[in-house]
């Protein structure tokens, strides 16, 4: 669930980032820099991060502020779903990650699935487009506002393989889902993807 301090900090950072992108008046630039510093102070104070690190993170974001795009692949085999184990926290998630600039989302999810699991797949349907900040998803707090795209991916070939980011790739039945990396995917989302797999005519979820 997005807590209020995080929502406020994200919105202040977005106002500052967009203002700095378009302002030419030095007084306006100074004000937007102050707003950005205030947003960084809020996030650093509430998250126990170093202020300099948060401010540097914010200052690297330039141009009009928009949500980041994260893609996740739902790959099914024999009524089981593919999950990968993250090296970072030792927990499991759907293979995926951020879309690169100039990369179509369908290609991004196919690339991420291959890089993180060793399986070649083909994106065949967008099952869900979720706002990570929406309270109903109950993701833990995160510094960015993110849209999460869940694609149904058809398994083509390959074999399980580890990567720089992952240390295992396994298919799990719905009743066997291990502890999830909830910053990346929630149990309710996994459940919904299984439901989509049983109802191929369902329309795409959103929000």
Mind listing the pLDDT tens digit for each residue in 36-71?
999 999 999 988 889 999 999 999 999 999 999 999
Residues 191 and 114 in one domain: yes
**Length of the chain as a residue count:** 207
pTM of the model: 0.86
Q: Give the residue-averaged pLDDT of 18-35.
A: 96
4 has pLDDT over 90: no
> Final residue of a domain: which of 31, 60, 89?
60
The two tokens of residue 136 are: 């109903």
Distance of CA 131 to the CA centre of its chain: 9
Residues 27 and 75 in one domain: no
Structural domain that includes position 88? 68-206
Residues 98 and 179 in one domain: yes
Give whole-number Cα distances, 41 to 10, 34, 98, in Å: 12, 10, 26
CA distance linking residue 150 with residue 26, whole number of Å: 43
Residues 98 and 39 in one domain: no
Residues 83 and 154 in one domain: yes
CA distance linking residue 22 with residue 45, whole number of Å: 29
The 8-class DSSP code of residue 115 comes to H
Residues 56 and 157 in one domain: no
pLDDT confidence of residue 48: 82
Looking at the 3D structure of the chain, how many domains does it have?
2
pLDDT confidence of residue 154: 98
- As to burial, measured by CB atoms within 10 angstroms (0-12 exposed, 13-18 middle, 19+ buried), residue 172 is middle
130 has pLDDT over 70: yes
pLDDT confidence of residue 49: 87
Residues 34 and 113 in one domain: no
User: What percent of the chain has pLDDT above 70?
Assistant: 99
pLDDT confidence of residue 132: 96
CA distance linking residue 85 with residue 162, whole number of Å: 9
Residues 73 and 155 in one domain: yes
> Final residue of a domain: which of 60, 89, 107?
60
Residues 54 and 75 in one domain: no
Residues 16 and 97 in one domain: no
Residues whose CB is less than 8 angstroms from the CB of residue 32 and which lie 6 or more positions away in sequence, other chains included:
15, 16, 19, 20, 23
**Nearest by Cα to 100 from 91, 92, 109:** 109
Residues whose CB is less than 8 angstroms from the CB of residue 122 and which lie 6 or more positions away in sequence, other chains included:
110, 153, 154, 156
CA distance linking residue 133 with residue 9, whole number of Å: 13
Residues 106 and 199 in one domain: yes
Task: Give residue-wise pLDDT tens across range 80-125.
Answer: 999 999 999 999 999 999 999 999 999 999 999 999 999 999 999 9
The two tokens of residue 22 are: 């378009």
pLDDT confidence of residue 23: 96
Residues 117 and 134 in one domain: yes
């Amino acid at each position: 669930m997005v807590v209020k301090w995080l929502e406020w900090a994200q919105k202040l950072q977005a106002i500052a980032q967009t203002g700095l992108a378009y302002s030419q008046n030095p007084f306006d630039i100074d004000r937007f820099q102050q707003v950005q510093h205030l947003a960084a102070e809020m996030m650093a104070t509430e998250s126990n991060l170093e202020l300099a690190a948060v401010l540097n993170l914010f200052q690297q974001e330039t141009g009009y502020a928009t949500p980041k795009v994260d893609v996740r692949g739902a790959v099914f085999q024999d009524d089981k779903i593919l999950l990968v184990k993250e090296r970072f926290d030792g927990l499991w998630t759907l293979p995926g990650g951020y879309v690169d600039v100039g990369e179509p989302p369908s290609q991004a999810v196919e690339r991420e699935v291959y890089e993180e699991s060793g399986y070649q797949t083909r994106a065949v349907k967008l099952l869900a487009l979720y706002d990570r900040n929406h309270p109903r998803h109950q993701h833990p707090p995160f510094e960015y506002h993110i849209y999460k795209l869940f694609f149904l991916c058809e398994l083509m070939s390959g074999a399980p393989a580890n990567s720089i980011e992952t240390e295992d790739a396994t298919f799990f039945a719905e009743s066997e889902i291990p502890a999830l990396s909830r910053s990346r995917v929630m149990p309710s989302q996994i459940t919904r993807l299984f439901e989509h797999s049983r109802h191929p005519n369902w329309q795409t979820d959103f929000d």
